[in-house]
Every structure is written in structure tokens, then in C-alpha cells.
Structure 1
Amino acid sequence: MQENQELQTPAPEEALSTATVSATENASETVETTIESIPGLEEQIRQLELKAAEHHDAWLRAKAETENVRRRAQEDVSKAAKFAIEKFAGELLSVKDSLEQTLAVENATLESLRDGVDLTLRNLIKAFEKSGMQEIAPLGEKFDPHKHQAISSIPSDQPANTVVQVFQKGYLLEGRILRPALVAVSSGSAA
């Protein structure tokens, strides 16, 4: 008889599982009963679900817009890098035209060649100015290691560290050094 009782008693795991299912079903019924018993709660839930769907839609649109802005910004940066020299290149066309006109003159004299080269140089200077390039011609200025590169020191009547000779002009581009001027500086009195 004892064997029959053992067969009929469920294992502890099964008993726990059955109790959990039963409690869950009871809780669901209680929640449904509670929802139905509160007037207007179903309508509030429906309104909140609509509002949640609205916010989700707005979030998706904002995410898509952000992605579009990022993509457009990348394209703008790419175009800026690609066409950054466009303005300067346009200015150089007049320089090229001047050189071609100078060389196209048949039976050119030394004077006409000189005039053509002078015109070309003026066009080049204008192109530099329009593009934000400035010349560094520091003769007589105090040596500045940020703008000048000293390649020699010469005894001179000028004060020490004064630029006394310019071997190659330097250039600034929008206030930033493009190329320092190559100079010789005074080492002091030439006594």
C-alpha cells in the first residue's frame, strides 16, 4: 500500500511547477479583473500605446535625419578638400595667359620680353594676394625664427640678429608660414 502512495505523490519539482502555473493564471485573471474594474483605464492604456507609437516614429525620423546630416557633412568635407585650390587655380590662369602671350610675340625684342615677364609677375602677385598669400621680405628686420631661417652669420654694422641679406623670400598663407625666408643675420659689429 505504501508503494501506491509513493506513485501518487508528485515530485517536489512538479508540485512547484504546478503551483507556479496556477499562481500565474490567478494573477492574470486578477489583473484583467482589476483593469476592467477601473473605469477609463483601458482608454488610458490605448492612448498611452498611441503616444508610445508616436514617439517611436519620431525617434526613427530623427535617427534617419541625423544619418542624412552626417552623410551630407562627409560629402561637403570631401568636396572642400577636392576643390580647395579652385580659387587659386583660377587666378593662375591669367599668369599662364601672360606667359603664352609673351612667348607668342614673333621677333620679340629684349624690351618686349621684359615687359611680358613684368606683366606676368604682376599677375602672379595679384593671384597670391587674392589667395591670401603674403611675401616675407625681412631685410633690416630683427631675426624671427618663426618666419626666417638663418643660413649664415655675417659681421655687420647692424645690431646682432638683424637680417642683413635675404637669399630667398618667405611666404605666409592666411597668416601661417608656407615657407620661411632664407636669410643671413648680423653677428654684430664688423670691427
Structure 2
Amino acid sequence: MSDEQQKVVDQEEINNEQAAEVEAEEVKQDAVEVDPNVQRIAELEAELAAAKETINNQKDSVVRAAAEVENIRRRTAQDIEKARKFALEKFASELLPILDNLERALEIPNREEELVKPVLEGVELTQKSFLASIAKFGIEPVDPQGDEFNPELHQAISMVPSPDHPANTVMTVMQKGYTLNGRLLRPAMVMVSQG
């Protein structure tokens, strides 16, 4: 091979190397051009995932807040209903001794005397109208004569042996009890049989 031919071969090798370098550079540039797109897509996917997480957290917060508001509404409605039902509790407690006195007035021994009959009739009418008035506001008497003893409604004053009554039966009511809209205002004071 002559020098000329050698130079041509060398030149071709140089050209081939340069072409390979140019091609490698183009591949690098293509990779760089594709890489920013891939990178941008990855960034957008990360932002989307973060946005979805934020939305889920906010949904949870909204649901919890709505549930809390509903609980407050329900509790407030219950409190208002209780206040309405039991606002008269203290006032009703003050009326109970008056009812007791009316009942005691009707227990006088000489009921058949002509002078006492009109007074007894007046007391009976007063007691009936009084009971009707308080019944309109949810106050009901608890008169357990002959019933089974119930510690939720009755207060046992004493237990007496009695062959005529079964065990734990109310024999005598010493003082009537009263309820206000189903809530015990005052227990009935009773004597209970031992059986």
C-alpha cells in the first residue's frame, strides 16, 4: 500500500470516527431531548398524586366536619327537648306538699258529720282540679298499692311480715310518689310485706 492509499484509508477512518462521534452526539441530543419530556411527565404525575392526596384529605375533613355539625344539632335538639320537658321540675316539686296536704285533709275521721261534708266536697273538688291541671303538664301520681315493690319508683320505709300479702308487695302507701314526663320526681314511700 502506498502512502497515498494509506492516507486515503486513514482519512476514511478519521471520517468514520468523526461520523461515529457525530452520530453518538446526535443520539445524546435525542436522549436529552426525550429526557426532559419524560422528566416533565414524571413531575406532572407526582403533582397529580399530591393533588389527589390533598383532595382525599380534604374530603375526609369535610365529612368529619359535617358529622360533627350533625352531632351538635342532634345534641342541641335533645337538650332543648329535655329543657322543655323538665323545666317545671323544681316548680312541680314545690306543688307536691300541697297535694299531700289535700290528701291528708280528706282523711279526717268524722266524714259523716253534716258540717264537715261541704268542706270535704270542696277539698275533693280542689284536689281533682289540681290533679287535672298538673296532669296537663306531664305530672302523674305513683300510687303502688298492691303492686310489686319497684326500687326505681318506690322507697321502702319498712318491711312487715304479712301472711295476707306475697313477699315484696306494697302493703301500704305512706306518701304517693310523682313522675314528670316519665322521670321520677319523688318516690312513693311504702311499707312492703316480707311474705
Q: Name which one, 1 or 2, has greater alpha-carbon Rg.
A: 2
The structure with higher relative contact order (CA 8 Å, sep 6+) is 2
Settle same-fold status: TM greater than 0.5: no
TM-score (norm: length of structure 1): 0.44
